[in-house]
Structures are given as structure tokens and as C-alpha cells.
């Protein structure tokens, strides 16, 4: 058997400069909440990566054969400081962002992240409301951090959990981390009031798809929302193959055969998850039993109403999870640009956005690795 060759291009060093038109008084874009891209999509959701490090080595995100002990992580000086992140976040909010999600890597590895959460929790939307402030974590540090996160102002939390069977879970995280510790972290988050809690499970056919029904049985009726995510072709290092994708339609059928489901309306514009409620005896939604979500990022694209931007840990703005290049905002921040200049740069970048990779995927040639090599890693800009 031939060895798998993994093409790896460090996209962290490749970034576009903000457009010159952003700083021309005649073409300046003001932050008024009316920003829209080339497809008419507003800017409402900002994902902020606070670290490129993680203590797991999940093979769909940070495989151990690439992210080994010699992998060159970003130096601390390259990362945006909490004050820089908060400043940029405030300008995104002025453009209409109402939801901020902190990601990584593993965001709880960022020292004193509670300070950043306090700063972001003080921001207000254009309507004067608190932001929808949430965080995605692998749960490994959650048991001892949950209360301090809540006290700092975090509202909700999403936990990545790829199975309940301990052997399967240890295989998926590839660092021999026990599932019991993550489950204890989830309970600590629930006790702290970080809710509603979402549980994200990336499903790989033949690897952990036997965990779907055990996960449903475990979380049904707990008040937590279990979400299943199709294994995605993100980055260049995860060796993605289409035959390892379990389509959400098939997954829903598997669950429906054991626990009847009824489809629900989207919870908000731009929502990535299709919602399914557990059915009662009359065929309606059993609210007490709760719901699941399926994120069909491969088989059913949701690009048409995507309203998300992503800010990397070193201040590069990405317009799509499958992007191959970001836009350098850090240089503006550290070269003394005014708030108006940075806000205008964000506006010009978003107005030029036409990304819809998932919708176009079916028309692209088969991915041999060369195409994926041009895409940024999910561990760098968050999921």
C-alpha cells in the first residue's frame, strides 16, 4: 500500500491586503448595519479563533501525522491581543453582527480567556441588546472552567463529542482522552447555566456512525440539542474521501426508524442546521423530548443565506470555511489605522464577497488533493 502524501501549504502567512478603496473618502464604507455581499447576504455572525493550538488530534481536523511535536504553531506575538480582538469585534458589530462564537483550535487553551469574554460581553448590538456570545470547545477543560466562563458573561456553549463509546472516542481524539471527562464537563456547563447546550458530532462512515443512536438515546430529553455534522472536505490534511461521508438524509432515516422525527422550522435566518424534533404519539413535536440538528455541509449546501465571517487568531478575515486566503486586518490595527478605516476595510471586503463553495462543489472536478491544498485548515479558523 502506498503512503498517503499530504500536501500542506501554510496559509497563515498568505493574506490579502485590504483594498485601497477602503481608505478613499469618496469610496469609504460606513458601518451602519446595512452591509451586504455580492449575493445580498448580510453580515450577522462572526467566528473568532483565539488559538491555533488544540490538545486533541482528531483526524478530520488536526491529524497527528501533520500536527506533531515539531509543528510550528504561531508565536504569541502573532496572535491578536484581547484588546485587539475586542476592538475589531466592536467594528463588526457596528456592521450588523449580533452573534460572536469563540473557536480555536481549542479556545479554552488560550490563557485568561475569561478576560476576553468579559470584554465582548460588554458590547451591544445596533439595537442595544447584548450579543449572542457563545464558544465551541472539545470539553476537555470544561469541568473546571464552566463556572468562570459563565461568570465572565458567556451565554451558551457548544461541545464537540464524536461518540459515547470510550474506545471509539479515544480513537477519534487520538490522544487517549476519556469520554467520561467530557461528559462531566457538559454536566458542569449545564449546572453553571451555559445553555442551551449544543453537542456537535462529526460523523464518519465506518468510523463512528455506530454511535449515532447511542448519542440520540443519551441526549434525548436532556434539554441539550444534539447536532450531526457531515464529514467535510476542509483544509488539506484530513485525507477526506466522499465515501466516508454519511449523508444527513440517511442519518435522519436511521434515527427515524427507532425514534420518530418531525421536521421543524429554522430557528433563525442563516441557520446551518436543519432541525428535527422528536415526535409525540400524535405526530407533533414532543417539546420535552427535544430536537436534533443535521448540518449537511457536503450534500445539501446552505451557502445561499450564509451570513458568517471568520477572524483567524492572527487577525486574518476569512469569508468562507473553504477559503484559500484571508484578508489582513492585523496590519491595519498595528499600523495605527483609525476605527473608520478598519470598518471601511471590513465593508469593502464583505461587499466583494461571492463565496459559495459548497453549492459549486458538485460541479468541480474530483478532489485529488491539489485543490484542497489551497484551502485553509479548519483548526486555524474554527468550524
How far apart CA 90 and CA 75 sit, in angstroms, is 25
Closest CA to 238 of 70, 13, 7, 2: 7
Distance (Å, whole) CA 318 – CA 191: 35
Asked whether residue 350 carries a pLDDT value surpassing 80, the answer given is yes
How far apart are the C-alpha atoms of 328 and 334, rounded to whole Å? 11
Matching residue, cell 450534500:
299
Q: How far is CA 136 from CA 157, 180, 379, in A?
A: 6, 18, 12
The tally of domains found in the chain comes to 1
- Let me know if residue 247 belongs to a domain: no
* Residue 291 located in a structural domain: no
| pTM across the whole model | 0.90
Contacts (Cβ under 8 Å, ≥6 apart) of 285: 262, 264, 277, 278, 279, 291
Q: Residue 295 in contact with residue 230, Cβ under 8 Å?
A: yes
Higher pLDDT, 10 or 146: 146
**CB under 8 Å to 40, separation ≥6 — which residues?**
none
What is the span of the domain harbouring residue 136?
11-198+211-216+304-381
pLDDT of residue 323: 79
* pLDDT of the residue at 303: 81
Residue 252 lies in a domain: no
Listed residue (75, 367, 83) closest to 239, CA to CA: 367
**Phi (first) and psi of residue 74, to 5 degrees:** -65, 140
The 10s digit of each residue's pLDDT in 71-99 is: 999 999 999 999 999 999 999 999 999 99
85: in domain = yes
| Tens digits of residue pLDDT in 161-177 | 999 999 999 999 999 99
User: Is the per-residue pLDDT at 365 higher than 70?
Assistant: no
Residue 136 lies in a domain: yes
Q: Are strands 99-103 and 132-137 parallel, antiparallel or unpaired?
A: parallel
CA angle 251, 136, 10 (to 5 degrees): 95
261 domain residue, yes or no: no
Lowest mean pLDDT among 109-118, 135-144, 180-189, 231-240: 231-240
- pLDDT score of 361 more than 80: no
More confident site: 213 or 297:
213
Q: Residue 23 — φ and ψ, nearest 5°?
A: -110, 5
Average pLDDT, rounded, for the chain: 89
In a domain, 286, yes or no: no
Q: What is the pLDDT, as a whole number, of residue 370?
A: 38
Burial class for 374, CB neighbours closer than 10 Å (0-12, 13-18, 19+): middle
pLDDT confidence bin for 313, thresholds 50/70/90? very high
pLDDT tens sequence across 281-312 = 999 999 999 999 999 877 776 688 899 999 99
Query: What's the rounded Cα separation, in Å, for the pair 191 and 56?
Result: 25
Q: Judge whether 67 and 56 are in contact, CB under 8 Å.
A: no
Per-residue pLDDT at 358 exceeds 80: no
Grid coordinates of 224: 441539550
Residue 373's pLDDT band, with cuts at 50, 70 and 90, is very low
Task: Name the residue with higher pLDDT: 359 or 244.
Answer: 244
Q: Under a CB-based contact definition with an 8 Å cutoff, are residues 296 and 230 in contact?
A: yes
Specify if 224 maps to a domain: no
**pLDDT at position 10:** 56
Is 90 exceeded by the pLDDT of residue 218?
Answer: yes
Residue 70, domain CATH = 3.20.20.70
Q: Over the stretch 233-264, which tens digit does the pLDDT of each residue have? A: 655 555 567 878 899 999 999 999 999 999 99
Amino acid at each position: 500500500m502506498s503512503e498517503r502524501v499530504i500536501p500542506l501549504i501554510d496559509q497563515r502567512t498568505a493574506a490579502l491586503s485590504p483594498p485601497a478603496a477602503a481608505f478613499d473618502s469618496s469610496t469609504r464604507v460606513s458601518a451602519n448595519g446595512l452591509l451586504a455581499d455580492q449575493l445580498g447576504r448580510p453580515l450577522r455572525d462572526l467566528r473568532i479563533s483565539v488559538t491555533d493550538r488544540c490538545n486533541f488530534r482528531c483526524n478530520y481536523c488536526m491529524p497527528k501525522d501533520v500536527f506533531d511535536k515539531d509543528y510550528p504553531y504561531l508565536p504569541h506575538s502573532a496572535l491578536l491581543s484581547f484588546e485587539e480582538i475586542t476592538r475589531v469585534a466592536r467594528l463588526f458589530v457596528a456592521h450588523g453582527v449580533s452573534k460572536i462564537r469563540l473557536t480555536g483550535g481549542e479556545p479554552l487553551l488560550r490563557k485568561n480567556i475569561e478576560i476576553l469574554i468579559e470584554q465582548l460581553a460588554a458590547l451591544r448590538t445596533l439595537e442595544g441588546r447584548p450579543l449572542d456570545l457563545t464558544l465551541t470547545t472539545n470539553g476537555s477543560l470544561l469541568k473546571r472552567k464552566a463556572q468562570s466562563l459563565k461568570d465572565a458573561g458567556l451565554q451558551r456553549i457548544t461541545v464537540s463529542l464524536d461518540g459515547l463509546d470510550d474506545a471509539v472516542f479515544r480513537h477519534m481524539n487520538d490522544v487517549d482522552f476519556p469520554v467520561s471527562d467530557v461528559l462531566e464537563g457538559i454536566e458542569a456547563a449545564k449546572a453553571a447555566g451555559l445553555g442551551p447546550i449544543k453537542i456537535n458530532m462529526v460523523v464518519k462512515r465506518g468510523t463512528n456512525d455506530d454511535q449515532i443512536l447511542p448519542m440520540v438515546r443519551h441526549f434525548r430529553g436532556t434539554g441539550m440539542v444534539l447536532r450531526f455534522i457531515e464529514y467535510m472536505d476542509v483544509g488539506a490534511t484530513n485525507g477526506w474521501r466522499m465515501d466516508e461521508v454519511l449523508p444527513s438524509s440517511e442519518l435522519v432515516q436511521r434515527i427515524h426508524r427507532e425514534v420518530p422525527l418531525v421536521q421543524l422550522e429554522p430557528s433563525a435566518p442563516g441557520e446551518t442546521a436543519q432541525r428535527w424534533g422528536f415526535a409525540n404519539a400524535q405526530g407533533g413535536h414532543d417539546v420535552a423530548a427535544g430536537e436534533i440538528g443535521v448540518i449537511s455541509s457536503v450534500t445539501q449546501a446552505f451557502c445561499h443565506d450564509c451570513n458568517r465571517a471568520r477572524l483567524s487568531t492572527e487577525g486574518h478575515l476569512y469569508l468562507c470555511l473553504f477559503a484559500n486566503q484571508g484578508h489582513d486586518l492585523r496590519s491595519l490595527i498595528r499600523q495605527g489605522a483609525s476605527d473608520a478605516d478598519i470598518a471601511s476595510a471590513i465593508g469593502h471586503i464583505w461587499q466583494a464577497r461571492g463565496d459559495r463553495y459548497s453549492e459549486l462543489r458538485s460541479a468541480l472536478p474530483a478532489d485529488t488533493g491539489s485543490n484542497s491544498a489551497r484551502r485553509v485548515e479548519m483548526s486555524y479558523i474554527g468550524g
